[in-house]
Amino acid sequence: MGNLFCCVKVDQSTVAIKERFGKFDAVLEPGCHFLPWCLGSQISGHLSLRLQQLDVKCETKTKDNVFVNVVASIQYRAIANNASDAFYKLTNTRSQIQAYVFDVIRASVPKLNLDDAFEQKNDIAKAVEDELEKAMSAYGYEIVQTLIVDIEPDEHVKRAMNEINAAARLRVAANEKAEAEKIVQIKRAEGDAESKYLAGLGIARQRQAIVDGLRDSVVGFSVNVPGTTAKDVLDMVLITQYFDTMKEIGASSKSSAVFHPTWTWSSP
């Protein structure tokens, strides 16, 4: 019906390419337009101005000879003011963009090691975007944004990288465990040393108390029993302690003490 009344409708976010007798005549904006087909005017085609996205997967090799698949996401759209260039100059826009992406990625990634490629994804994306912007602007297209969404090494390489990472983490864990055990042993040794030190102080004080008690006993016994010497008192105290010790050993069923005679050797 539109062609019958020489009218044509152009949808929103779309432009129409108008030709007259096969030659480009004008770009029709969204809306309703008069198209005198009887005078040779016709619509050659429509061009979308919407943002489009192209995902490109490119296989290449890094500097350390690891094959990877680089996945780039290209967001682009046709420029309304250059709609005629975008419509006439390229027959397959997506293939053209893909060729430029391949060229830039295969020129950039081989200069980087695998780890560097992961770290410099933004630099690779910027290089792709700059090259595409320079090339596609001549064809009436704008590159809105370029993203490197993924870098996929070979499955064997990923497994090896995971094993290296796991080994490194196990090594760190082993070092931490050894350091913890070292600290425990040092603290235990310090505790033992402190315990022995305190035990030594206790024994020294005990012996001092025994000496003080013996001294007081000798003095008191000598005063109360005239004619006794200090040696007599000490012999009596030692004998008393000997019998007390024998009594304690006999009362215990788990005693492990062993007595043996004392031999006195004399020179011939």
Q: Are residues 74 and 111 part of one domain?
A: yes
Residues above pLDDT 70, as percent of the chain: 81
Tell me, what's the pLDDT at 176? 84
Picking from 110, 134, 153, the residue at the C-terminal end of a domain is 153
Report CA-CA distances (Å) from 205 to 121, 210, 212, 250: 76, 9, 10, 28
CB atoms inside a 10 Å sphere around CB 98: 18
Q: Report the range of poorest mean pLDDT among 56-70, 112-126, 227-241.
A: 227-241
How many angstroms separate the CA atoms of 175 and 165, rounded? 15
Taking residues 196-204, what's their average pLDDT?
81
Report CA-CA distances (Å) from 92 to 51, 86, 209, 220: 16, 10, 108, 124
Tell me, what's the pLDDT at 98? 92
Most confident of 57-71, 158-172, 206-220: 57-71
How many angstroms separate the CA atoms of 9 and 226, rounded? 144
Picking from 112, 128, 153, the residue at the C-terminal end of a domain is 153
CB atoms inside a 10 Å sphere around CB 108: 20
Q: Are residues 144 and 56 part of one domain?
A: yes
Report CA-CA distances (Å) from 94 to 27, 44, 77, 81, 132: 22, 20, 11, 20, 12
117 in any annotated domain:
yes
Picking from 167, 182, 204, the residue at the C-terminal end of a domain is 204
Q: What is the CATH number of the domain that holds 117?
A: 3.30.479.30
Domain count, the chain: 3
1 in any annotated domain:
no
Tell me, what's the pLDDT at 145? 92
Q: Are residues 171 and 115 part of one domain?
A: no
Tell me, what's the pLDDT at 267? 44
250 in any annotated domain:
no
Q: Are residues 163 and 88 part of one domain?
A: no
Q: Are residues 57 and 89 part of one domain?
A: yes
Q: Are residues 111 and 44 part of one domain?
A: no
199 in any annotated domain:
yes
Contact 133, 75 (CB under 8 A): no
With 0.85 as the threshold, say if the pTM is over it: no
Taking residues 166-179, what's their average pLDDT?
82
User: Chain-wide mean pLDDT for the chain?
Assistant: 81
Q: Are residues 159 and 149 part of one domain?
A: no
Taking residues 191-206, what's their average pLDDT?
82
240 in any annotated domain:
no
228 in any annotated domain:
no
**Is the pLDDT at 67 greater than 60, yes or no?**
yes
Q: Are residues 164 and 115 part of one domain?
A: no
Band (20; pLDDT cuts 50, 70, 90): confident
128 in any annotated domain:
yes
Tell me, what's the pLDDT at 230? 65
Q: Are residues 127 and 35 part of one domain?
A: no
* pLDDT tens for each residue of 211-268: 677 667 666 666 666 666 667 666 766 777 777 677 777 676 666 655 555 544 444 4
CB atoms inside a 10 Å sphere around CB 123: 14
Q: Are residues 132 and 66 part of one domain?
A: yes
Q: Are residues 144 and 84 part of one domain?
A: yes
**Is the pLDDT at 69 greater than 60, yes or no?**
yes
* Structural domain boundaries enclosing 44: 7-48
Q: Are residues 104 and 31 part of one domain?
A: no
The single residue listed with the structure tokens 């100059």 is 89
How many angstroms separate the CA atoms of 3 and 1, rounded? 5
Please choose, from the candidates 6, 3, 94, the residue with its C-alpha nearest in 3D space to the C-alpha of residue 48: 94
Count of alpha carbons within 13 Å of 192, Cβ hemisphere only? 6
Band (166; pLDDT cuts 50, 70, 90): confident
